[in-house]
Amino acid sequence: MTRLPVVVLGATGMVGQRMLSLLDGHPGLRVVGVGASARSVGRPLGEALTWRLPGRLPAAFADLPVLPCEPGAFDGQATLALSALDATPAGPIEAAFRAAGWWVVTNASPWRMDPGVPLVIPEVNPDHLSILDGAGPGGIVANPNCCAIPLAMVLAPLHRRWGVEAVITATWQAVSGAGYPGESAWDMVGNVHPHAGAEEQKLAVEPQKILGGPHAPAAFPISARCVRVPVADGHLLSAHIRLRGAPRPDEVAEALAGWTGEGPPLPSSPRPLIHLDPRRDRPQPRLDIDAGRGMALTVGRVEACPIFGVKLFVLGHNTIRGAAGAAIANAELLRATGRI
Amino acid sequence: MTRLPVVVLGATGMVGQRMLSLLDGHPGLRVVGVGASARSVGRPLGEALTWRLPGRLPAAFADLPVLPCEPGAFDGQATLALSALDATPAGPIEAAFRAAGWWVVTNASPWRMDPGVPLVIPEVNPDHLSILDGAGPGGIVANPNCCAIPLAMVLAPLHRRWGVEAVITATWQAVSGAGYPGESAWDMVGNVHPHAGAEEQKLAVEPQKILGGPHAPAAFPISARCVRVPVADGHLLSAHIRLRGAPRPDEVAEALAGWTGEGPPLPSSPRPLIHLDPRRDRPQPRLDIDAGRGMALTVGRVEACPIFGVKLFVLGHNTIRGAAGAAIANAELLRATGRI
Amino acid sequence: MTRLPVVVLGATGMVGQRMLSLLDGHPGLRVVGVGASARSVGRPLGEALTWRLPGRLPAAFADLPVLPCEPGAFDGQATLALSALDATPAGPIEAAFRAAGWWVVTNASPWRMDPGVPLVIPEVNPDHLSILDGAGPGGIVANPNCCAIPLAMVLAPLHRRWGVEAVITATWQAVSGAGYPGESAWDMVGNVHPHAGAEEQKLAVEPQKILGGPHAPAAFPISARCVRVPVADGHLLSAHIRLRGAPRPDEVAEALAGWTGEGPPLPSSPRPLIHLDPRRDRPQPRLDIDAGRGMALTVGRVEACPIFGVKLFVLGHNTIRGAAGAAIANAELLRATGRI
Amino acid sequence: MTRLPVVVLGATGMVGQRMLSLLDGHPGLRVVGVGASARSVGRPLGEALTWRLPGRLPAAFADLPVLPCEPGAFDGQATLALSALDATPAGPIEAAFRAAGWWVVTNASPWRMDPGVPLVIPEVNPDHLSILDGAGPGGIVANPNCCAIPLAMVLAPLHRRWGVEAVITATWQAVSGAGYPGESAWDMVGNVHPHAGAEEQKLAVEPQKILGGPHAPAAFPISARCVRVPVADGHLLSAHIRLRGAPRPDEVAEALAGWTGEGPPLPSSPRPLIHLDPRRDRPQPRLDIDAGRGMALTVGRVEACPIFGVKLFVLGHNTIRGAAGAAIANAELLRATGRI
């Protein structure tokens, strides 16, 4: 299989760096260009960015010149862009790429609830890509929020089998979810703080769009409390779940452990998708975050809830499964389904 | 008012040290003796303990000889013991003091659900002391769990006014709740972990005992997920609360802000009991934990929950309001109600 | 004593907020105006800032209108400004105030090594204010760097008595030293990092200016390694010190414990200035930072160094003794010496 | 090459678990038995331990029965023991194994300064094994302390080339260095603390034994200040180094980057041994600890020291390069040199 040329937008930020890490040596995608904001344009990527991840910028990308985030800058080099842009610039830039006939897989929030944009977890709702069929060439595919992804993934097999009726969730969210520099260390040293952003609102609507039909969101309510904690990577969530028919916790656990997802196999999609950990004090972010090279979830403590029937903990890597890896898997899906 | 002589059991541990801090210069209580485990007995307190709190052991207590935790050791010196003993030794030791006619206010868990032992937050259910009337001389009064106290306190005015029907709660709990040495630093550095102990079970039953009548616990269900976070002091909880009549969030907030508690005024009980903080990113443990010298709660983000009607965050100091200060306030209540 | 009117510049930042905290109820200084950057100007201070410290902005200051940082804006209200401005704007703004005849006590770095500006710790080198005599009206007085202050303070009594010949120092520095937002949480969660700024260079020159004569810096070399650690407040330093005559560690400890400083008594200057803590695992930032309400240092482990003769640890509160409180004490000194 | 059978003593602790992780699939060593304390004996290892590292206990070891730490228990199965025992039991147990003719590579401290026990970093002083020649069968080989290893490794090429005259060092040490449970979370949340143990004393003598001849320690003095910081894994050290001939920092950096070590190639010994990182804010423990799969050091900021000539930062993985991996590499060395 030839490797599909791809452009990374927002390459210098936290999620962009994760994308580059994951794309180094990727079997099906090949980075041919990188875009970033004006202050980086014109410099080799290796000089334009300060690498914030373990090790160093993969050598293969160090000499790529940083180009402006305009489709014209990458003319003829690719027709697929992975976007790690911040929410504010993402809207108009991604619209411009779409208008020029590109496929854009974006991690940014502006397009997520747009009815013309599929909000896709490739193992959950690959069929939502049909929203774009006939509308192209190209189109925008959105990643869900980094908390919405693990929540929707654990709800998926339960919703398919029993039907979700209500969810109350809480988060212990890592600081990398805010990008770089993101959270101030002053706020996070020996401290936690209630998330002052729109995280709770996103958790209240995105899973329903993902778990419903392409044009008909699921109807159950979600109520969330989101709190940032001094953890580098890894969002831990609790979920109290009311399911139709009130299955027992062991039935729920079995459904999660046995879940293989929908859609075609993808290079970035691990087996198993969900690690069910029976240990009482797991999952823990620092220890369990790399399951499935950051693309698997770990679920623990699936137990009876006296109010909703079942409750559990789920942990996911927020900048891999929840962002950079999610975008790459969506790109893989576009290709595996013959759209690109 | 003369200061009532009091003995501190378990004086060398984390909660015992907090008790000594709070009792230094207390207007109504005077420490006349300290008890600890065998390895400390016979030494002056100042040599027997390693002080783990800010500053140093109050000078007034440094020369107290550490005595064994037996009523005979303190014969004639006092009839009131504040116990910060660990759960395992607490049961038999406190029974022995009770059998010898002492009042024991204990922070340990073994007696909490005993029908013959009142589980008391002095501003919430002072009337529960009546359980002991006629049974003495003396008796055991139990402090609730350090998470159950802030949860029961925010539920109290809501339960009185509307009636609580169901609560789903999550915790971001400080490490001091586990005593010293308590949690391993390995588990808490850049990490959080699902609480492997009995915390969730305690939260499921203690508030109902507190909020019901002396002999009839309240009947609503509570479902909790408890997670330890790398915070020194201060338990943050979220609570999704279903109330009879479905009051609006602003009505709930008003009821909390205006709550003055039950029972007589006590030296350790602050005014207001609940600080309602309108800021979107508060309360935060490191910044807000000392409200009311650690005896007040801070409540924030009282908002609509699409499932239960209302949700909020509450923060309390777990070793003051949740343990040492709670015991002292209960001792103050015993005196203020003429029982001692 | 009437309270001297004072203006706080940079009132909305981390150090500005500390200044306001310390000035609330100050016996000798009264805040009559606050200045901040353009985006805050025109709003009441209570609305312009997000309070980052425990509790809330002192009520007395909430309604002060934020004015531009120009002397004309405060005309006739005061002749003393406490500046918590960032280094970049501080230079020209403080020059403008000086040119208008004001006294400026600044926490910013640009003026520190200017020979016409005294770099003052009031208990160490109050005589350096003589640099300004005859040059006014007004003048700029600079606070040293937040690490240089505790280092110079422990060196002061040793230099006076024996003479310092060389110092090798390391720091475990708190995140608040970088202001707000300052350090990224990503860099400080479960991590430490070598200080990438100019901290080591400042430590290499500021103590010598402080410990020398008004116009003749001391000549000994200092070599520093500075590392930021995930601590909220409190800089811990180790110092290996070579002293003339090679006094024993116990003699050094005695000199530190007995040190009472120079100059007149000041409201913010505590007694003792240095707490000598004999415990092997102290000082620790979280526990010992509030000694002397944040204005005293804690010294521990004064021991033999096989190379330099003596080594020790010293802890100081970096935003109180090392910044906001330092500025206030310098203002008190200006008044106590009759200059204002 | 057949895989040499090996027994792991202290298999359930933090370092023992690291050993098992590193030995899973090791090309030259095969775990045939595990020993631990009495409360684990008789149970399968998978039940006897609580796994504290990422992922799970390697499946290959789960069914090994835990045996008592006596040579008789492993009779005929192996003649090489890797010991991760705590210091107190290690002394007599390891002596018993030696008396029974075993080779013991120990991570414990009791034997390190024994003149009949080589203290070995295989890439630094493999020739010290000659201390044991003729004394066997078997013998004890000791790992240095987890701070002494990275310090001795950076000093090694400098001492060989120029001669070390004096070293002043400071540490920012990870909590895993204290084992499990080790440090209390209460002491390490938002805090650092001066190391109350014997770490500074070990740093003052072990590097000299390593860098000298088999029977003649090097003579230069080392003065250390050791501080524990809230980092999971990875000891960062600063070192101010006085070298004979006062080479320039760039010469020192070049000597470090080009250092290839002594002795035969070993499976666990990485190339390069030292990563020289030119970035101003590196090395950082959380980001750089896995260099060379935890067996390489990262050195940064090699700069001029006005007192000693050169100073630098060095980072090493304390439970891999500093403990478990060090023991395995020493076992590899025993085999590579034909001693076993």
Going across the sheet that includes D4-9, the strands are D66-68, D29-36, D4-9, D80-83, D103-106, D139-142
Token digits of residue C92? 């020209």
**Cβ-defined contact of A55 to D190 (cutoff 8 Å):** no
ipTM over the 0.90 cut-off: yes
Contact in structure between B169 and B239 (CB atoms under 8 Å) = yes
The answer to whether C235 is a known catalytic residue is yes
Q: Which residue has the tokens 């791809």?
A: A6
**Cβ-defined contact of A181 to C180 (cutoff 8 Å):** no
What pLDDT sits at residue B195? 84
Contact in structure between D20 and D31 (CB atoms under 8 Å) = yes
For the purposes of burial, counting CB atoms within 10 Å of the CB of C296, is it exposed (0-12), middle (13-18) or buried (19 or more)? buried
Report the helix count and the strand count for chain D, using DSSP H and E. 9, 13
Judge whether residue D61 has pLDDT over 90: yes
Question: Closest approach of chain A CAs to the CA of B310, in angstroms?
Answer: 10
The stretch B45-65 carries a mean pLDDT of 96
What pLDDT sits at residue C1? 66
**Cβ-defined contact of C232 to D190 (cutoff 8 Å):** yes
The stretch D5-20 carries a mean pLDDT of 98
| CB-closest option in B190, B285, B286 to A232 | B190
**Cβ-defined contact of D54 to A288 (cutoff 8 Å):** yes
| CB-closest option in B50, B55, B287 to C53 | B287
> What does the pLDDT look like over C115-149, one tens digit per residue?
999 999 999 999 999 999 998 899 999 999 999 99
For residue A189, the chain D residue with the least C-alpha distance is: D190
- Cα-based distances in Å from C267 to B118, C81, C332, D166, D253: 49, 18, 7, 45, 51
Contact in structure between C67 and C77 (CB atoms under 8 Å) = no
Interface of C with B in 171-190 (CB under 8 A): 189-190
Question: Closest approach of chain D CAs to the CA of A287, in angstroms?
Answer: 4
What pLDDT sits at residue D196? 72
Least Cα distance to C242 among C149, C299, C306 occurs for C306
The stretch A18-36 carries a mean pLDDT of 98
The stretch A106-133 carries a mean pLDDT of 97
The two beta strands, D139-142 and D164-173, are unpaired
| CB-closest option in C50, C55, C288 to B54 | C288
Q: Which residue has the tokens 């975050």?
A: A289
Token digits of residue C30? 């009264």
Contact in structure between C150 and C321 (CB atoms under 8 Å) = yes
Q: Which chains touch B (3 or more CB pairs under 8 A)?
A: A, C, D
> What does the pLDDT look like over B115-155, one tens digit per residue?
999 999 999 999 999 999 998 899 999 999 999 999 999 99
Interface of C with D in 34-63 (CB under 8 A): none
Q: With contacts defined as CB-CB under 8 Å, which chain A residues touch D290?
A: 54-55
Average pLDDT of the residues of chain A: 97
What pLDDT sits at residue A136? 82
Bridge partners (DSSP) of residue B9 are B35, B83
**Cβ-defined contact of B191 to C189 (cutoff 8 Å):** no
Percent of chain B with pLDDT over 70: 100
What pLDDT sits at residue A1? 66
For the purposes of burial, counting CB atoms within 10 Å of the CB of C2, is it exposed (0-12), middle (13-18) or buried (19 or more)? exposed
Least confident range from A78-92, B190-204, C247-261: namely B190-204
- Residues of B classed as catalytic: 146, 235
For residue D191, the chain A residue with the least C-alpha distance is: A190
Least confident range from B101-110, C74-83, C193-202, C238-247: namely C193-202
Residue of A280, A303, A307, A318 to mutate, testing the B interface (most B Cβ within 10 Å of its Cβ): A307
Token digits of residue A134? 């006939």
Does D12 contact chain B (CB < 8 Å)? no
For residue A167, the chain B residue with the least C-alpha distance is: B307
> What does the pLDDT look like over B300-321, one tens digit per residue?
999 999 999 999 999 999 999 9
Question: Closest approach of chain A CAs to the CA of B75, in angstroms?
Answer: 44
Angle at A115 between CA A111 and CA A116, to 5 degrees: 75
**Cβ-defined contact of C185 to A187 (cutoff 8 Å):** yes
> What does the pLDDT look like over D202-260, one tens digit per residue?
999 999 999 999 999 999 999 999 999 999 999 999 999 999 999 999 999 999 999 99
Q: How far apart are CA C125 and CA C96, in angstroms?
A: 26
What pLDDT sits at residue B136? 82
Among residues C26, C69, C128, C146, the one annotated as catalytic is: C146
Q: With contacts defined as CB-CB under 8 Å, which chain A residues touch C181?
A: 181, 184-186
Q: Establish, for the pair of chains A and D, how many residue pairs have beta carbons separated by less than 8 Å.
A: 30
Q: With contacts defined as CB-CB under 8 Å, which chain A residues touch C185?
A: 175, 178, 181-185, 187-189, 230
Least Cα distance to A149 among A244, A261, A16 occurs for A261
Average pLDDT of the residues of chain D: 97
| CB-closest option in C232, C287, C288 to B286 | C232
What pLDDT sits at residue C136? 82
Q: With contacts defined as CB-CB under 8 Å, which chain A residues touch B187?
A: 281, 284
Question: Closest approach of chain C CAs to the CA of B38, in angstroms?
Answer: 23
The answer to whether D146 is a known catalytic residue is yes
Interface of A with B in 196-235 (CB under 8 A): 196, 204, 221-223, 225, 227, 229-232
What pLDDT sits at residue C282? 95
pLDDT confidence tier of residue D1, bands split at 50, 70 and 90: low
Question: What is the full DSSP assignment across D49-106?
Answer: ----SSS---GGGTTPBEEESSGGGGTTT-SEEEE---HHHHHHHHHHHHHTT-EEEE
What pLDDT sits at residue B197? 78
Percent of chain D with pLDDT over 90: 98
> What does the pLDDT look like over C291-314, one tens digit per residue?
999 999 999 999 999 999 999 999
Q: Establish, for the pair of chains A and C, how many residue pairs have beta carbons separated by less than 8 Å.
A: 71
Judge whether residue C113 has pLDDT over 90: yes
Judge whether residue B245 has pLDDT over 90: yes
For residue D301, the chain C residue with the least C-alpha distance is: C194
For residue A52, the chain D residue with the least C-alpha distance is: D287
The two beta strands, B80-83 and B297-305, are unpaired
Give the CA radius of gyration of chain A.
Answer: 19
Q: How far apart are CA C130 and CA C135, in angstroms?
A: 10
| CB-closest option in D194, D280, D285 to C301 | D194
What pLDDT sits at residue B327? 98
Question: Closest approach of chain A CAs to the CA of D231, in angstroms?
Answer: 11
**Cβ-defined contact of D230 to B191 (cutoff 8 Å):** no
pTM comes to: 0.97
Q: With contacts defined as CB-CB under 8 Å, which chain A residues touch B188?
A: none
Q: With contacts defined as CB-CB under 8 Å, which chain B residues touch A222?
A: 306
Neighbours of B201 (CB within 10 A): 12
Does B289 contact chain D (CB < 8 Å)? no
The stretch D110-123 carries a mean pLDDT of 97
For residue C284, the chain B residue with the least C-alpha distance is: B54
Does C15 contact chain A (CB < 8 Å)? no
| CB-closest option in A221, A230, A283 to B307 | A221
Residue of A56, A180, A233, A279 to mutate, testing the D interface (most D Cβ within 10 Å of its Cβ): A56
| CB-closest option in B53, B290, B291 to C287 | B53
Phi, psi of D28 (to 5 degrees): -120, -10
- Residues of A classed as catalytic: 146, 235
> What does the pLDDT look like over B235-244, one tens digit per residue?
999 999 999 9
Among residues C235, C240, C275, C317, the one annotated as catalytic is: C235
Judge whether residue D136 has pLDDT over 90: no
Q: With contacts defined as CB-CB under 8 Å, which chain B residues touch A193?
A: 281-282, 284
Average pLDDT of the residues of chain C: 97
Helices C249-257, C148-161: axis angle to 10 degrees equals 110
**Cβ-defined contact of B232 to C286 (cutoff 8 Å):** yes
Q: Which chains touch D (3 or more CB pairs under 8 A)?
A: A, B, C
Instruction: Please name the residues in contact with D245: beta carbons below 8 A apart, sequence gap of 6 or more.
Output: D162, D163
Question: Closest approach of chain A CAs to the CA of D50, in angstroms?
Answer: 9
Bridge partners (DSSP) of residue D36 are D68
Token digits of residue D303? 């700069």
The stretch A217-234 carries a mean pLDDT of 98
